[in-house]
Copies of this chain bind each other. A is one copy, B any other.
Amino acid sequence: MNHQPQSFDSSQAQSPDELVGMMARAGRAAQRVLAGMDSAARASALRLAAKHIRSGAEAILAANAQDVEAGRANGLSPAMLDRLVLDEARLEGIASAVEAVAALPDPVGQVIDQSERPNGLRMSRVRVPVGTIGIIYESRPNVTADAAALCVRAGNAALLRGGSEAAQSNRAILAAFQKGLVEGGVPEAAVQLIPTQDRAAVGAMLTASGLIDMIVPRGGKSLVARVQQDARVPVLAHLDGICHTYIHAAADPQMARAIALNAKMRRTGICGAMETLLIDAGFGEAKALLGDLLDAGCELRGDARICALDPRIVPATDEDWDTEYLDAVLSAAMVDNLAGALAHIDRHSSAHTDAIVTDDEAAAEHFLAAVDSAIVMHNASSQFADGGEFGLGAEIGIATGRLHARGPVALEGLTTYKWLVRGTGQARP
């Protein structure tokens, strides 16, 4: 049995397009087998993959040590090194996450709806795997196992392309993962890793229409921007999380202060963090609320009315309203009313997550209906924008596009549907 990352000789490929084509065709063939397996068999293969990640810890950590050493030599930043480094606890986290995905309810085969026509034809829509998913990611080696597990759970082949900093770690994790798949009856080409030495392979993935059905970029803004710019294959992604929280005139002051502080400062680097605060002119405790943020170490950039409330607030520029800081920095504007808040959000939101804080139910429902973002919240911190918090168990990503899937995307977003028509000999009149 061959446990190499690829089940064919990728060195025969003459070009990046040919390499991606060979791997995608091998993936498609493996995907057909995967789609024909039942849910329990796919889950069992994932549990075996977790087992082999645990039993292969020594090899994986040794490979990771090589990556970390090379990263240090190449001057990777401490933050990047921290994302890269694995230890026994992190590896156990990776294995457990694969088991958690194995335990998720299987969307494949779900009947979305069904009906019987007057002529007796019985129609149903049934969830099926999307097919082959390309995942392009950066330095976190855990994505190798996380993304592969989600794809396989929903019956998809995965073509993984990780960062070169994590090349050894990714290969070692994949080898362990594939051992489990093969033991569980899944062809190893169901999950493949595109060699990092071939830099042009990313471009070949992005244009592989008909070979790759969907691309999910996992990483920083420059990666996502490049993928969105160049891809001809559909992309599931969010570029920015310019999330707004609007404190309405009828907001409970304590609740507003607690939500604003949490939405900005709990973790400033996540896509659901608040980046712009909108305060209604009728809200009485704006000064106290802004003071909480300033006291917590947040830099505030305000419009004229906001700046007038505290000398520590600096004036915002036009650019601030369209900036995702991912840091302890916040833009803040005062708006005259709900309509003013909606106009600001319509103009500046990145359609990720926007929230209102108010005790006025009518205002809340108006906001929920009018804001055209993937996630719209009432009386909650935008930091809840996360598949786990939404009860999805895991997420492949958060999408701000409008088609197929929006917001946190988990297993359902890795499926599509087909129509089944069952007849008794009907010919169309």
- Whether A421 pairs with B380 at a CB distance below 8 angstroms is yes
What's the minimum C-beta distance from A363 to chain B, rounded to whole angstroms?
Answer: 13
* B residues near A379, Cβ cutoff 8 Å: 422-426
The stretch of A15-23, A45-53, A281-289, A412-420 that contacts the partner chain = A412-420
Q: Is the CB of A402 within 8 A of B259?
A: no
A423–B259 Cα gap in the complex (Å)? 11
Check: A262 CB closer than 8 A to any chain B CB. Answer: yes
* Main DSSP-derived SS at the A contact region: mixed
- Please give me the residue from chain B that is nearest to A116 by CB atom: B391
Stretch at the interface among A139-147, A323-331, A365-373: A365-373
Residues of chain A from 29 to 46 with CB closer than 8 A to chain B in the complex? 32, 35-36
Number of copies: 2
A373 CA to B380 CA, complexed, in Å: 42
Decide if B266 touches A377 in the complex (CB within 8 Å): no
Is the beta-carbon distance between A427 and B259 smaller than 8 angstroms?
Answer: yes
Tell me which residues across on chain B come within 8 A of A428, comparing CB atoms: 262, 266, 381, 383-384, 389
With a CB–CB cut-off of 8 A, which chain B residues contact A332?
none
Residues in chain B near residue A123, CB distance under 8 A: 390-391
Stretch from A55-63, A88-96, A403-411 contacting the other chain: A403-411
Q: Does A243 reach chain B (CB closer than 8 Å)?
A: no
Closest residue of chain B to A131 (Cβ to Cβ) is B402
Do B374 and A130 touch (CB < 8 A)? no
Do residues A374 and B419 form an inter-chain contact, with CB atoms below 8 A? yes
In the complex, whether A234 has a CB less than 8 A from a CB of chain B is yes
Closest approach, in angstroms, between the C-beta of A373 and any C-beta of chain B? 7
Cα–Cα distance between A105 and B45 once the two chains are bound (Å): 43
For the complex, what is the distance from the CA of A423 to the CA of B384, rounded to whole Å?
11
Which residues of A221-256 have CB atoms within 8 Å of chain B's CB atoms? Answer: 234, 252, 255
A167 at the interface (CB under 8 A from B): no
Q: A123-B390, A372-B418 are in contact. Are A213 and B402 (CB under 8 A)?
A: yes
Chain B residue numbers with a CB within 8 Å of A369 are: 36
User: A384 — nearest CB in chain B belongs to which residue?
Assistant: B428
Whether, in the assembled complex, A258 has its beta carbon less than 8 Å from a beta carbon of chain B, the answer is: yes
- Please report the C-alpha to C-alpha distance between residue A423 and residue B346 in the assembled complex, in whole angstroms: 22
Evaluate whether A403 and B406 lie within 8 angstroms (CB atoms) in the complex, with A368-B420, A419-B390 already known: no
Q: Which residues of B contact A266 (CB under 8 A)?
A: 427-428
A115, A121, A428 — most chain B CB neighbours (10 Å)? A428
A186 within 8 A of B: no
Tell me the chain A residues, 348-396 only, with Cβ under 8 Å from chain B: 364, 368-370, 372-381, 383-384, 389-391
Q: Residue on B with the closest CB to A233?
A: B403
Give the CA-CA distance A212 to B364 in the complex, in Å. Answer: 29
**Are A391's CB and B115's CB within 8 A?**
yes
Residues of B within 8 A of A407 (CB): 418-419
Q: Is A85 an interface residue (CB 8 A)?
A: no
Q: Min CB distance, A126 to chain B, in Å?
A: 8
Chain B residues whose CB sits within 8 angstroms of the CB of A421 once the complex forms: 375-378, 380, 384
A290 to B402, CA, bound (A): 48
> Roughly how many angstroms separate A35 CA and B381 CA in the complex, as a whole number?
26
Q: Counting CB contacts under 8 A, is A128 at the interface? A: yes
> Smallest distance from the beta carbon of A55 to chain B beta carbons, Å?
34
Q: Tell whether A214 is near chain B: CB-to-CB under 8 Å.
A: yes
**Docked pose: A420 CA to B426 CA in angstroms:** 43
Pairs of residues from A and B, 4 with the lowest C-beta to C-beta distance, nearest first: A380-B423, A262-B427, A255-B425, A383-B428
Given A35-B372, A258-B427, 14 more contacts at CB 8 Å? A115-B391, A121-B384, A128-B372, A252-B425, A364-B422, A376-B418, A377-B420, A377-B423, A378-B421, A378-B423, A381-B427, A384-B428, A403-B403, A406-B418
22 residue pairs of the A-B complex, CB under 8 angstroms, read: A35-B372, A36-B369, A115-B391, A213-B403, A234-B403, A252-B425, A258-B425, A364-B422, A375-B418, A375-B419, A378-B422, A379-B422, A380-B421, A380-B425, A380-B426, A383-B427, A389-B428, A403-B403, A403-B404, A403-B416, A404-B404, A406-B418
